[in-house]
Structure 1
């Protein structure tokens, strides 16, 4: 069921019943990213999936920051009278989940970083984002997305599952240029939040693809020992899209982690 508040400016999907799980999508995505996970998890849990500002029916708000998007998600939880949840974010969604954990640590029963990192962008990464913004502004969003999004998958996936790649590119094209630019700008200036991992009492899940070019393995590995309680999964032949590349395996891991967080 799709819901909204604030005259339709904040929208989300609400499926299932039980303990609350929040799934936060990343750059160029929307709530449908998690369709496979929602179908399975809603059998036992209540699934809240925000459409971040600038995606689906949710208008872009300015200025847009990782922190403002965290407040956007928090407003949904307040509207639904949800005081605790397992929060799982993909890529940029993980940055938002970390911002929520920093400001509202009591809210989290568990934190899932699905191909995400608590580190800030390096100077090289920031420059890469600036170049991407210039490319989008010069050649358009479609050209950029068609060139960039296939690289979110592992070489093994790209060689065998063209329809999966096409579906992800199509999903990305639903996001308009101003939102894509705003997301990159927000990610580039986000602070380092590795300290959040050290102090968070809730368990932390790390989902890592060995072929992830966006959040490489060596970026995440130093973080896995920071939380008091960690669950670490490193996947062969998986890039940045484990929820699609190995959907069934990742769903089992999510179910196990979520069940552990309820203890």
Structure 2
């Protein structure tokens, strides 16, 4: 682990390998550790970079809304800090996908390709916004523990919950390293994010969508709708995986990303 020291916070990150840069953006309420199978495996083929977003993992927290634009700008600053001028592959999961859309809108010229995982282009529904407001109130009152237990049950597939206790505990431990500021800031940022659907037809880089068949947080139909609108896009659906297919089906996920980047 290393740190990039920015004016307002310190961003922790891991990097490994050489060649084509792949920047992995984690989801909520997670950190770079969720990408360990990818860091270990794909660094044999590429220059893998996995940051902790502000307030997550080993990165220091800040107060206020963690907008998707702000978090995208943090990622661009990390690339500048690492002197990476080469076009990158950007891989974002869930909230990391929302950040990827913000990054693509702002810095499309920095992208070689996109990998969108367990995410959607649509904004929150009114019901979704209300649920996030409830989560913010709960976190302020009781801390992050009840948020984590609710998320565990929702992000993992029934198969994983029943048969892979080690993975369930690993995800729990990753989530426990998220600050209260980040939980609240993320929820506010996701609640306020814009509709990315009108932007999809402007995505001019090759795009791979990977989605877990058992994902109930973001149904497969959302992935299919994105595939229909992004010009150069393919969709892979993974069995026995829900909202964290990179962990629940890591070998198949890594193989798909490896094959995808070989075509670039």
* Same fold at TM > 0.5: yes
Are residue 239 (structure 1) and residue 242 (structure 2) matched? yes
Distance in 2, Cα, partners of 1:44 & 1:234? 23
Contact 1:54 1:175 in 2 (8 A): yes
Please give the alpha-carbon distance, in whole angstroms, between the structure 2 residues aligned to 1:60 and 1:45.
30
Name which of structure 1's ranges 68-77 and 151-160 shifts more when overlaid on structure 2.
Answer: 151-160
- Which string of whole-angstrom CA distances, capped at 9 and with x for unpartnered residues, describes residues 55-101 of structure 1? 12322234321100000000011122223100000111111111010
Long gaps (5+) in structure 1: none
Q: RMSD across aligned C-alpha pairs, in angstroms?
A: 1.5
Is the Cα–Cα contact under 8 Å of residues 121 and 195 in structure 2 kept in the other structure?
yes
Q: Does 1:33 align with 2:30?
A: no
Give matches, 1:202-221, under 5 Å. 202-221=205-224
Aligned residues: 261
- Aligned partners of 1:9, 1:228: CA distance in 2, in Å? 37
1:191 aligns with 2:180: no
Aligned counterpart, 2:135: 132
Please tell me whether residue 141 in structure 1 is matched to residue 156 in structure 2.
Answer: no
How far 1:232 moved relative to its partner?
0.4
- The structural deviation recorded for 1:127 is 1.0
CA distance in structure 1 between the partners assigned to 2:146 and 2:31 by the alignment: 19
Aligned equivalents of 2:228, 2:155: Cα separation in 1: 26
Question: SS of the counterpart of 1:117?
Answer: coil
Q: Provide the residue aligned with 1:3 in structure 2.
A: 3
Describe how 1:58-73 pairs up with structure 2 within 5 A.
58-63=59-64, 64-73=66-75
Task: Check the 8 A contact 1:150/1:165 in 2, yes or no.
Answer: no
Question: Of the candidates 75, 89, 107, which is equivalent to residue 86 of structure 1?
Answer: 89
Query: 1:43 aligns to what SS in structure 2?
Result: coil
Give the deviation of 1:229 after TM superposition. Answer: 0.6
TM-score w.r.t. the length of structure 1 is 0.94
